[in-house]
């Protein structure tokens, strides 16, 4: 087979055209080829691949990617090439989330590999130092050892120079400002927190109005620093389509990024409901 190819110019043209038509952009994560196919058929603009999505497909929580149980970049590169790219028709573009702090890989080589397999968009969330609380001892140890946000900024900058569409992501305002000002990504997503719901979701108790308010505060900063940036919302209390609609209605986001909401949670429900009906079958009473 031949995997469909695209380009930075084509991707940005499509995204800008949707914005001009006032149609929300949809970025969705996929940990398997089947999910990627369904996302593309449903109309997702971008299919996002990263080790957390692959682990979700195996029944683990997204945050398990922070534990050293796998080579995050190898996992992302391999399954993107083998499972995702052959499964889609090219209506959606693929964004690979990479670990810019990988001490064993040159990011230029990683970017070239992605382009070779047909991926022309990249993000810094695979995983990011932004996941780690700044007042924690582990954050201080990690940054002392050279695992820094600056490496993620540098990766996004060089990726854009190499013809990739860049999607920056951060968990707090400080990291958001560092990425937006330092890397000038094409798309920026404020990650409001782990999505609640389902078997592996985490509910911090935050309400959707608070998620929207926190997101919009970062949006204002981002737009001042980089007026052309495309903004998308993700995480925390944004679990359902109704929640996502609230985000669109109450922020200046151009779209939303879904992970568990269109992948893990629907699979959990659908497979359980179907399997339970089979498991509850009975034999005909012969009396």
pLDDT in tens, 97-137: 999 999 999 999 999 999 999 999 999 998 899 989 899 99
| Of 35, 32, 34, 66, residue with least CA distance to 52 | 66
In a domain, 233, yes or no: yes
pTM here is 0.91
In a domain, 5, yes or no: no
Report pLDDT for 167.
98
In a domain, 41, yes or no: yes
Work out the angle at residue 210's Cα, subtended by the Cα atoms of residues 206 and 216, and round it to the nearest 5 degrees: 140
Q: Using CA atoms, how far apart are residues 155 and 183, in angstroms rounded to an integer?
A: 8
In a domain, 35, yes or no: yes
The CA dihedral of 193, 197, 198, 200, to the nearest 10 degrees, is 30
Report pLDDT for 199.
54
Provide the strand spans (E) within the chain. 25-29, 46-49, 93-97, 121-123, 165-170, 187-191, 230-234, 255-258
Report pLDDT for 204.
67
In a domain, 269, yes or no: no
Report pLDDT for 150.
97
Q: Using CA atoms, how far apart are residues 245 and 128, in angstroms rounded to an integer?
A: 27
Q: Using CA atoms, how far apart are residues 114 and 165, in angstroms rounded to an integer?
A: 12
CATH number at residue 167: 3.20.20.70
Q: What is the DSSP letter of 83?
A: I
In a domain, 281, yes or no: no
In a domain, 171, yes or no: yes
| Of 237, 132, 230, 243, residue with least CA distance to 186 | 230
In a domain, 154, yes or no: yes
Low-confidence ranges of the chain (pLDDT < 70): 54, 57-69, 195-204, 287
Q: Using CA atoms, how far apart are residues 75 and 79, in angstroms rounded to an integer?
A: 6
Domain that holds residue 160: 26-262
Report pLDDT for 262.
87
Domain count, the chain: 1
Asked if the bond preceding 127 is cis, omega within 30° of 0, the reply is yes
């Amino acid at each position: 087979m031949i995997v469909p190819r695209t380009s930075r110019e084509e991707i940005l043209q499509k995204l800008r055209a949707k914005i001009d038509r006032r149609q929300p952009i949809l970025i969705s994560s996929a940990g398997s080829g089947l999910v990627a196919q369904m996302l593309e058929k449903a109309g997702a603009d971008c299919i996002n691949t990263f080790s957390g999505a692959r682990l979700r497909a195996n029944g683990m929580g997204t945050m398990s990617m922070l534990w050293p149980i796998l080579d995050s970049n190898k996992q992302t590169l391999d399954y993107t090439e083998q499972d995702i790219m052959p499964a889609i028709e090219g209506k959606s573009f693929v964004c690979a989330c990479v670990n810019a702090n990988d001490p064993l890989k040159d990011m230029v080589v990683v970017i070239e590999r992605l382009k070779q397999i047909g991926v022309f968009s990249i993000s810094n969330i695979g995983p990011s130092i932004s996941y780690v609380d700044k007042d924690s001892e582990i954050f201080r140890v990690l940054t002392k050892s050279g695992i820094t946000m600056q490496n993620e900024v540098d990766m996004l900058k060089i990726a854009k120079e190499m013809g990739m569409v860049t999607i920056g992501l951060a968990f707090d305002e400080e990291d958001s400002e560092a990425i937006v000002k330092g890397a000038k990504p094409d798309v920026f997503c404020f990650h409001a927190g782990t999505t609640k719901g389902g078997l592996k979701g985490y509910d911090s108790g935050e309400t959707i109005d608070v998620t929207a308010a926190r997101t919009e505060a970062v949006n204002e900063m981002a737009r001042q620093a980089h007026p052309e940036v495309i903004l998308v919302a993700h995480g925390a209390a944004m679990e359902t389509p109704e929640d996502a609609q609230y985000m669109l209605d109450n922020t200046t986001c151009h779209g939303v990024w879904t992970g568990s909401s269109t992948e893990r949670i629907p699979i959990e429900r659908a497979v359980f409901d179907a399997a339970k009906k089979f498991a509850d079958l009975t034999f005909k009473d012969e009396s």
